């Protein structure tokens, strides 16, 4: 008997594989295709010959943990204690999985807001707990009335994702007020705030859970160096949580990975001395604007994008196919890969929407747009 009977290969893997098979331009899975910052490649090349190849301490390479504390201080004006409140993880994925496994028990309920990223539900199921999928409003704002109704004495955790994959939406002050009210009523609920796109925001900066006093003692913050430094393949990120939660999370981490690969921890801790994360938003805003301009004469209708490197588009003017069929034909007939949005919903509702990743060099965006404008 499978422990996860409904889980199949992730849509990101399926679409990337199909893109490769058909030699299509891959705007599906979210990863950049341009070269890394040379300062980072220089650091890692030098470190390869230094003494940084053995286990680091379980929770992370101490200089990196101090750098993370500095980063959180400068980005959010929050003081954290590296030894007790930070855990370096093998990507945000492992941070999410480990946190859920450590804190969610049999019979607990976890609120997940749809459309939702695919890493949240399976760890909940593996804890013999129940994922409660609550739909966002049509404009992708949270529906606090339905979230309130979904909460009960069984609710252990609410997962928020801000900026939001796939919709690019960010939460506003009123959302945090509503969340605060809800948490006041339910003192045992903890929040998992997936902020892997924290530095990829455009006209407006997102509001981080780090900046909300009411969350500090009951929230796990998830970050990804993969997203912030264009190194998704390095699989490195970190979580920040109050000591009483982190103590439990570290118990699981210790046996899941023990410690994260040492050379990337050492490289990132040095790189953090020279890189300015505040430039990332402008960098990706230019890509978003360029991609939107290239598509302005296409028959796709582009949705607003406040953050992340994803652009949601409606193809309702082009085809009546469901979004999975449309994405497959987009690869086979037109040579561009995208992600169908229905896969982010528990009921797989088809809204004729697909997601493009614009973390690509200009040539790739231009070549893809040319094909998309011909449809």
The residues that touch ligand GLN, with contacts defined as CB under 6 A, are 10, 12, 29-30, 165
Q: Which residue is nearest to ligand GLN (CB)?
A: 30
- Does 117 participate in binding ligand PMP (rule CB under 6 A)? yes
Binding partner of residue 194 among ligand PMP, ligand GLN, none, CB cut-off 5 to 8 Å per kind:
ligand PMP
Q: Which is nearer to ligand GLN, 165 or 311 (CB)?
A: 165
**Which window, 18-26, 35-43, 220-228, 357-365, contacts ligand PMP (CB under 6 A)?**
220-228
Closest distance of CB 12 from ligand PMP, Å? 8
Contacting ligand PMP within 188-217 (CB under 6 A): 194, 196
Instruction: Give the number of residues written for the chain.
Output: 375
Q: Which is nearer to ligand PMP, 86 or 294 (CB)?
A: 86
* Bridge-based pairing state of the strands 353-357 and 310-314: antiparallel
Q: Catalogue the long-range contacts made by 10-17 (C-beta closer than 8 Å, 24 or more residues apart).
A: 10/118, 11/118, 11/339, 11/340, 11/343, 12/118, 12/339, 15/327, 15/331, 15/337, 15/338, 15/339, 16/337
**Which window, 70-78, 221-229, 256-264, 341-349, contacts ligand PMP (CB under 6 A)?**
221-229
Burial code (b: 16+ CB inside 10 Å, e: under 16) for 200-222 equals bbbeebbbbbbebebbbebbbbb
**CB of 268 closer than 8 Å to CB of 338:** no
- Does 270 participate in binding ligand PMP (rule CB under 6 A)? no
Closest distance of CB 260 from ligand GLN, Å? 17
Q: Which is nearer to ligand GLN, 61 or 120 (CB)?
A: 120
Binding partner of residue 29 among ligand PMP, ligand GLN, none, CB cut-off 5 to 8 Å per kind:
ligand GLN
DSSP for residue 35? P
Closest distance of CB 29 from ligand GLN, Å? 4
Closest distance of CB 10 from ligand GLN, Å? 6
Q: Binders of ligand PMP: how many residues, by CB under 6 A? A: 15
DSSP for residue 201? B
- Does 226 participate in binding ligand PMP (rule CB under 6 A)? yes
Alpha helix stretches (DSSP H) within 127-242:
144-150, 173-185, 213-216, 225-228
Q: Which is nearer to ligand GLN, 29 or 264 (CB)?
A: 29
- Does 239 participate in binding ligand PMP (rule CB under 6 A)? no
- Distances in Å between the alpha carbon of 214 and those of 126, 178, 370? 29, 12, 48
**Which window, 90-98, 246-254, 264-272, 353-361, contacts ligand PMP (CB under 6 A)?**
90-98
Binding partner of residue 226 among ligand GLN, ligand PMP, none, CB cut-off 5 to 8 Å per kind:
ligand PMP
Q: Say which residues have a Cβ less than 8 Å from residue 187's Cβ, sequence separation at least 6.
A: none
Binding partner of residue 60 among ligand GLN, ligand PMP, none, CB cut-off 5 to 8 Å per kind:
none
Closest distance of CB 235 from ligand PMP, Å? 6
Q: Say which residues have a Cβ less than 8 Å from residue 182's Cβ, sequence separation at least 6.
A: 144, 147, 148, 151, 158, 189
Q: Which residue is nearest to ligand PMP (CB)?
A: 91
Name the phi and psi angles at 282, rounded to 5: -65, -40
Q: Which is nearer to ligand GLN, 26 or 155 (CB)?
A: 26
DSSP for 90-137, please give it: SHHHHHHHHHHHHH--TT-EEEEEES--TTTHHHHHHTT-EEEEEEPP
- Does 123 participate in binding ligand PMP (rule CB under 6 A)? no
Alpha helix stretches (DSSP H) within the chain:
11-21, 38-47, 62-76, 82-85, 91-103, 121-126, 144-150, 173-185, 213-216, 225-228, 243-256, 262-271, 280-294, 323-334, 362-373
Closest distance of CB 348 from ligand GLN, Å? 17
Instruction: State the Cα–Cα distance between residues 318 and 352, nearest whole angstrom.
Output: 10
In the set 60, 82, 91, 307, which binds ligand PMP (CB under 6 A)? 91
The binding track of 20-49 with respect to ligand PMP, each residue x by CB under 6 A or -, is ----------x-------------------
User: Shortest CA distance to 124 belongs to which of 107, 137, 144?
Assistant: 107
> Interface with ligand PMP by CB under 6 A: which residues?
30, 91-93, 117, 119, 161, 165, 194, 196, 224, 226-227, 232, 237
């Amino acid at each position: 008997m499978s422990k996860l009977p409904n889980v199949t290969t992730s849509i990101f893997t399926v679409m990337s594989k199909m893109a490769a098979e058909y030699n299509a331009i891959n705007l599906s899975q979210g990863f950049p295709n341009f070269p890394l910052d040379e300062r980072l490649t220089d650091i890692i090349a030098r470190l390869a010959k230094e003494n940084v190849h053995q286990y680091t301490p379980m929770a992370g390479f101490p200089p990196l943990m101090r750098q993370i504390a500095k980063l959180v201080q400068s980005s959010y004006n929050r003081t954290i204690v590296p030894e007790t409140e930070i855990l370096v993880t093998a990507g945000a994925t492992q941070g999410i999985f480990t946190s859920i496994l450590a804190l969610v028990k049999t019979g607990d309920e976890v609120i997940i807001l749809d459309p939702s990223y695919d890493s949240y539900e399976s760890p909940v199921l593996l804890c013999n707990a129940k994922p409660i999928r609550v739909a966002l409003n049509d404009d992708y704002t949270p529906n606090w009335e339905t979230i309130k109704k979904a909460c009960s004495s069984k609710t252990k955790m609410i997962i928020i994702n801000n900026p939001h994959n796939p919709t690019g939406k960010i939460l506003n002050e009123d959302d945090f007020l509503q969340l605060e009210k809800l948490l006041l009523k339910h003192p045992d609920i903890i929040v998992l705030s997936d902020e892997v796109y924290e530095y990829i925001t455009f006209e407006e900066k997102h509001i981080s859970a780090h900046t909300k006093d009411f969350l500090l003692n009951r929230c796990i913050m998830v970050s990804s160096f993969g997203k912030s430094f264009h190194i998704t393949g390095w699989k490195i990120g970190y979580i920040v949580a109050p000591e009483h939660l982190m103590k439990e999370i570290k118990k699981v981490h210790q046996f899941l990975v023990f410690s994260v690969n040492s050379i990337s921890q050492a490289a990132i801790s040095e790189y953090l001395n020279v890189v300015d994360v505040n430039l990332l938003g402008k960098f990706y805003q230019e890509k978003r604007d360029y991609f939107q301009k290239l598509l302005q004469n296409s028959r796709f209708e582009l949705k607003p994008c406040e953050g992340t490197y994803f652009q949601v588009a409606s193809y309702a003017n082009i085809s009546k196919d469901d979004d999975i069929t449309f994405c497959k034909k987009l690869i086979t007939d037109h040579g561009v890969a995208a992600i169908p949005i229905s896969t982010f919903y528990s009921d797989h509702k088809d809204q004729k929407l697909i997601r493009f990743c614009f973390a690509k060099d200009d040539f790739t965006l231009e070549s893809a747009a040319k094909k998309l404008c011909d449809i």
